């Protein structure tokens, strides 16, 4: 007799999907998986052990009919056309009020389109960003669901059970209507790009400016991870530095080709920030750096054309201390830019985002988890209308304490030709954002000069145009 009472269905039994479904089953919910690949189906059945708790099939009809009503079906498949194809294949078997949740990194406008399409068919659909990689999926991810609140309520107990916990609070919260969940996850990934760029350029700085070897880098990042910089990305960097290469001598990190790939979420964050008019230059440059890294052949050629002067070595300990502060400064700026984008997107798209709640569910489970998020959550709890993190009193103090080190290292890196665009851009963003007056009056004058685009004045109301010639 077939068990028809599975609580949760999952489509896509790759590593993420398999781990997520096993996590669900660990929390007293029964779950059923579906994948076209028979090997993935048997792998899950084998790992799940008890078929009454975890089962799977490669047959869509038995998958759908095995789920209790309203069906809760989560998709963990690559973003794009596959999501639409899976939805189409499910549709003939669904009943009114069933719920489909897209747990992938789908582009937010795709989620809006799918929600409207499925609503016309009586099916609920919402996007839920899931962060934490394979381990997070298995042991507790951070989950960012959006869409219909009523549909989310049906899934809420399951998500709260499987999500990572921070001080016993689940790292999942309803983000807001429509594609709010996917949007928040997109910006999460933009911040992820920024922090990854920063952790890698400080590695470059310590290697070139202080001649630290991998063992020393391991120690430094391990120490940093006990202080202000405590974060998942600093923690795993420390571990990466000490990983031995099992195909050769030394540490693996030295053998990895310096060309970074990307799936698009960082680029989307930058593109959309431009669309809604919010500056996020640290994230933008992190995307550009992946692009520059991909131009390996050209870089090799160019490196031969331009001589680099020998680098002035810094005293290790002093460099390490300054680097810790400067990286902390740039981490703050990266989060500040991401939160600023979320704030504006909330207004633009009607997401009703609560920034404190977002910072809270990022405190554990996700890739950008960091102790700093506790302070970010507090800052937005104290002032939910805070325009920018840089205006929060507690952050003014943190910045005042760290900006000096950032300036010194920007100067040092520039002098010695060490590319640190994440730090440079963070500092310039800070200097611009905190400038009462910027030279953009000249830009306005130029626009009016060549294109009669008009300008406003500082001393009287109105719109003006001058015949400059």
Is 298 a residue of the active site? Answer: no
> With binding defined as CB under 6 A, does residue 353 bind ligand 6PG?
no
* Helix H or strand E encompassing 144: strand 142-145
- Asked whether position 263 contacts ligand 6PG by CB under 6 A, the answer is yes
Q: Report phi then psi at 55, rounded to 5.
A: -135, 170
262 binds ligand 6PG per the rule CB under 6 A:
yes
CA 418 to chain CA centroid, Å, is 26
Closest CB 391 distance from ligand 6PG, rounded Å: 28
Rounded distance, CA 356 to CA 383, Å? 9
124-131 and 142-145 beta bridge pairing: antiparallel
On whether the CB atoms of residues 10 and 125 are closer than 8 A, the answer is: no
DSSP assigned state of 243: P
The one-character DSSP state at 167 is: T
By CB under 6 A, residue 76 contacts ligand 6PG:
no
Handedness of CA 165, 166, 170, 175 (dihedral sign): negative
Q: Using the rule CB under 6 A, give the single segment among 20-28, 52-60, 73-81, 128-136 that binds ligand 6PG.
A: 128-136
Choose between 91 and 134: whose C-beta lies nearer to ligand 6PG. Answer: 134
Cβ proximity to ligand 6PG, 77 vs 413, nearer residue: 77
Residue 131: exposed, middle, or buried by beta-carbon count in 10 A (0-12, 13-18, 19+)? buried
Phi, psi angle pair for 418, to nearest 5°: -100, 120
Binding test (CB under 6 A) with ligand 6PG, winner from 285, 367, 376, 413:
367
- Smallest CA-to-CA distance from 236 within 376, 375, 370 is with 370
- Catalytic status, residue 192: yes
Q: State the Cα–Cα distance between residues 455 and 466, nearest whole angstrom.
A: 9
**Piece of 7-15, 218-226, 261-269, 329-337 that binds ligand 6PG (CB under 6 A):** 261-269
Which of 55, 105, 197, 337: binder of ligand 6PG (CB under 6 A)?
Answer: 105
Please, are residues 249 and 321 in contact by the beta-carbon 8 Å criterion? no
CB-CB contact of 151 with 189 (8 Å):
no
Applying CB under 6 A, the span of 25-33, 81-89, 256-264, 419-427 interacting with ligand 6PG comes to 256-264
Cα gap 89→34, rounded to integer Å: 12
Rounded CA separation 111/179 (Å): 6
| Binding to ligand 6PG, residues 187-226 (CB under 6 A) | 189, 192
Q: For tokens 């992946």, name the residue.
A: 290
Quote the least distance from Cβ 243 to ligand 6PG, whole Å: 19
As measured in angstroms, the least distance from the Cβ of 265 to ligand 6PG is 5
> Rounded to the nearest whole angstrom, what is the least distance from the CB of residue 74 to ligand 6PG in the complex?
15
Between 197 and 265, CB nearer to ligand 6PG: 265
Choose one: 5-13, 125-133, 164-172, 414-422; the region binding ligand 6PG (CB under 6 A): 125-133
The residue among 79 and 399 lying less far from ligand 6PG, judged by its C-beta, is 79
Binding-site size, ligand 6PG (CB under 6 A): 13
**Which residue from 77, 366, 392, 410 is in contact with ligand 6PG, where contact means CB under 6 A?**
366
The helix or strand, by DSSP H or E, that contains position 134, with its residue range, turns out to be helix 133-139
Instruction: For ligand 6PG, give the closer residue by CB, 209 or 365.
Output: 365
* Backbone phi, psi, residue 248, to 5°: -170, -165
Minimal distance, residue 47 CB to ligand 6PG, in Å? 21
CB of 141 to ligand 6PG, least distance (A): 7
Query: Which position among 40, 115, 192, 201 bears the catalytic label?
Result: 192
Query: Which residues does 394 contact at the CB level (< 8 Å), separation at least 6?
Result: 375, 378, 379
Residue 133 found at the interface with ligand 6PG (CB under 6 A): yes
Residue 198 contacts residue 402 (beta carbons within 8 Å): no
Using the contact rule CB under 6 A, the part of the chain among 36-44, 258-266, 270-278, 355-363 near ligand 6PG is: 258-266
- Closest contact distance (angstroms) between CB of 132 and ligand 6PG is 5
Measured distance CA(388)–CA(67) in Å, rounded: 45
Would you count residue 131 as binding ligand 6PG (CB under 6 A)? yes
Question: Which sign, positive or negative, has the C-alpha torsion 384, 390, 395, 397?
Answer: negative
Q: Least CB distance from residue 115 to ligand 6PG, whole Å?
A: 21
Query: How would you classify residue 435: left for phi > 0, otherwise alpha for psi between -120 and 50, otherwise beta?
Result: beta
Among candidate residues 178, 185, 325, 360, the one labeled active-site is 185
Q: Interface with ligand 6PG by CB under 6 A: which range of 19-27, 36-44, 255-263, 408-416?
A: 255-263
135 vs 431 by CB, closer to ligand 6PG: 135
338, 363, 322, 360: which is closest to 224 by C-alpha? 322
Considering only residues 30, 265, 272, 425, which one is a binding residue for ligand 6PG as defined by CB under 6 A? Answer: 265
What are the catalytic residues?
Answer: 185, 192
Q: Which residues bind ligand 6PG (CB under 6 A)?
A: 105, 131-133, 189, 192, 261-263, 265-266, 366-367
């Amino acid at each position: 007799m077939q068990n028809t009472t599975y609580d949760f269905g999952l489509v896509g039994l790759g590593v993420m999907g398999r781990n997520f479904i096993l996590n669900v089953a660990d929390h007293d919910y029964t779950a059923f998986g579906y994948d076209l690949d028979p090997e993935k189906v048997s792998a899950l059945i084998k790992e799940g052990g008890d078929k009454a708790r975890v089962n799977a099939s490669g047959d869509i009809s038995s998958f759908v009919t095995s789920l209790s009503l309203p069906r809760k079906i989560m998709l963990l498949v690559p973003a794009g056309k596959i999501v639409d194809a899976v939805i189409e294949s499910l549709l003939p078997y669904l009943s009114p009020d069933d719920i489909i949740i897209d747990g992938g990194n789908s582009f937010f406008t795709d989620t809006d389109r799918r929600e409207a399409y499925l609503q016309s068919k009586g099916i609920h659909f919402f996007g839920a960003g899931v962060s934490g990689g394979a381990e997070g999926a298995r042991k507790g991810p951070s989950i960012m669901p959006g869409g219909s609140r009523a549909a989310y309520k049906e899934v809420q107990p399951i998500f709260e059970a499987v999500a990572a916990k921070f001080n016993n609070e689940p790292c999942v919260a309803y983000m807001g209507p429509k594609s709010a969940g996917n949007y928040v996850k997109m910006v999460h990934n933009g911040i992820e790009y920024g922090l990854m760029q920063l952790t890698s350029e400080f590695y470059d700085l310590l290697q070139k400016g202080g001649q630290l070897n991998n063992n020393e880098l391991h120690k430094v990042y391990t120490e940093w991870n006990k202080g202000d910089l405590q974060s998942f990305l600093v923690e795993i960097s420390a571990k990466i530095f000490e990983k031995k290469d099992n195909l050769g001598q030394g540490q693996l990190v030295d053998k990895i080709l310096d060309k970074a790939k990307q799936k698009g979420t960082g680029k989307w964050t930058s593109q959309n920030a431009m669309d809604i008019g919010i500056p996020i230059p640290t994230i933008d440059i992190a995307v550009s750096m992946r692009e520059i890294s991909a131009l390996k052949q050209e870089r090799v050629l160019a490196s031969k054309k331009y001589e680099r002067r020998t680098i002035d070595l810094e005293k290790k300990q002093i460099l390490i201390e300054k680097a810790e502060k400067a990286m902390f400064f740039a981490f703050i700026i990266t989060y500040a830019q991401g939160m600023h984008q979320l704030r504006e997107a909330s207004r633009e798209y009607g997401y009703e985002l609560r920034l404190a709640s977002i910072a809270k569910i990022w405190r554990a489970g996700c890739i950008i988890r960091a102790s700093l998020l506790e302070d970010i959550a507090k800052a937005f709890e104290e002032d939910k209308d805070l325009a920018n993190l840089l205006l929060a009193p507690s952050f003014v103090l943190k910045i005042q304490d760290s900006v000096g080190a950032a300036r010194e290292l920007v100067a040092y890196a520039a002098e010695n030709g060490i590319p640190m665009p994440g730090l440079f851009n963070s500092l310039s963003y800070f200097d611009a954002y905190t400038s009462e007056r910027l030279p953009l009056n000249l830009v306005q004058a130029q626009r009016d000069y060549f294109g009669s685009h008009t300008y406003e004045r500082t001393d009287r109301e109105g719109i003006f145009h001058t015949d400059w010639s």
